[in-house]
Amino acid sequence: MRIIVALDIISGKCVRLTRGDYATKKIYNEDPVEVARMVEDNGIKFLHLVDLDGAKEGRVINHNILEKILTKTELIVDFGGGIRSEDDLKIAFNSGARQVTCGSITVTRPALFLDWLKNWGNDKLILGADCIDSKIATEGWAESTDADIISFIAGYRSKGIKYTICTDIEKDGMLQGPSVELYKEILEIPGIELIASGGITSVKDIADLMEIGCEGAIIGKAIYEGVLNLKDLSRLC
C-alpha cells in the first residue's frame, strides 16, 4: 500500500482544515517546498497536493507550487482542487502532476469527465469521491448531493475509472481513525483501486487499511500535529 502525504495549499502556504471548513484553517508551514523536501528526505515518495484556493474558486490557482515542488524534489505527485475545465487539467499535467484528482466535475459535468478519462486514460485520472453521511459532496465540500457514495463509485468503475480517493468528511482532520467499514463496502466493487483519506492517526489505522486491501492511504493532520512520524511511516512503504 502506498503511503501518501497530504499537502493542502491556501495562499501559497501549507495548511490543514477540519472537516473541510475553511474557517478552521491552520497554517503549518509558510513554504510548501520545505514540507515536500522533508517528505522526500524521510523516504516517502508520494504527495497528494490539494489546491484549496482552486477548490473554492472553481479553477486551478496554485499550480506554481506544484512546479516548484517538482523542480526541487523527485516526488510523485497527484494534484487536485479546482479542476473544472480542459485548461485546468492541462495546467495540472503540464505543471508535472503524475495523476490528477477530479471531484466536483464528475458530478456537475460527467460527460466531460468521461471524455477526459477516454483521452488521458485511467492511470492518469483519479475519481475524487468525498462524502458526508455516505452522500457525495462537491465544490470544496461546501455542497452536498443525493448521490450515494457506493453507487457513485460503482457507476464510474463500470465506465472505466480505476483509482478513487474517498474521504469521509466527518473524519477529516479529527484524528479519530478512518472509515474502515465504509472502505470495506467500496472495496467490494470489483477492480477498484481505493485510496483512503481522512482520520488516519496511528500505525494500526494504516495496518487496518492494508488488511482490507486499500491501494493507498493519504495522511495529513496526524503528521503535521506530530502524532505520526515521517520516518516511521517510511518503514511501511
When divided into structural domains, the chain yields a total of 1
**Global pTM?**
0.93
How far apart are the C-alpha atoms of 184 and 181, rounded to whole Å? 5
Q: Provide the percentage of residues in the chain whose pLDDT is more than 70.
A: 95
- Cα torsion 198, 204, 210, 215 to 10°: value is 30
The pLDDT of residue 18 is 81
Structure-block grid coordinates of residue 123: 492511470
pLDDT band at 189 (very low <50, low <70, confident <90, very high): very high
- Is 8 labeled as catalytic in the residue annotation? yes
Band (236; pLDDT cuts 50, 70, 90): confident
pLDDT in tens, 57-95: 999 999 999 999 999 999 999 999 999 999 999 999 999
- Is 133 among the residues known to form the active site? no
How do 131-132 and 135-138 pair as beta strands?
antiparallel
DSSP secondary structure string for all residues of the chain: -EEEEEEEEETTEEEEEETTEEEEEEEEES-HHHHHHHHHHTT--EEEEEEHHHHHHTS---HHHHHHHHHH---EEEEES---SHHHHHHHHHTT-SEEEE-HHHHH-HHHHHHHHHHH-TTTEEEE--EETTEEEETTTTEEEEEEHHHHHHHHHHTT--EEEEEBTTTTTS-S---HHHHHHHTTSTT-EEEEES---SHHHHHHHHHHT-SEEEE-HHHHTTSS-HHHHHTT-
Query: Is the confidence at residue 32, as pLDDT, over 90?
Result: yes
Over range 157-178, report the average pLDDT: 85
> Which is more confidently placed, 37 or 133?
37
Query: How confident is the model over 224-233, as a mean pLDDT?
Result: 92
Which pLDDT score is estimated for 19? Answer: 76
How many Cβ atoms are within 10 Å of 55's Cβ, its own excluded? 29
Statement: residue 45 has pLDDT above 60: yes
Interior angle at CA 67, CA 217 and CA 45, nearest 5: 30
Domain that holds residue 126: 2-234
Instruction: Tell whether the model's pLDDT for residue 100 goes beyond 90.
Output: yes
pLDDT score for 95: 98
Q: Is 29 exposed, middle or buried (0-12, 13-18, 19+ CB in 10 A)?
A: middle
What does the alpha-carbon distance between residue 77 and residue 66 come to, in Å, rounded to a whole number?
A: 8
Q: Is the pLDDT of residue 216 over 80?
A: yes
Instruction: Give me the pLDDT at residue 171, please.
Output: 67
Q: Where residue 142 sits, what CATH number does that domain have? A: 3.20.20.70
Is it the case that residue 140 has pLDDT exceeding 70? Answer: no
Confidence check: pLDDT of 142 > 60: no
Asked whether residue 23 carries a pLDDT value surpassing 80, the answer given is yes
Q: Which of 51, 130, 168, 205 is catalytic?
A: 130
| Catalytic annotation, pick one of 8, 78, 172, 208 | 8
In the chain, what percentage of residues exceed pLDDT 90? 80
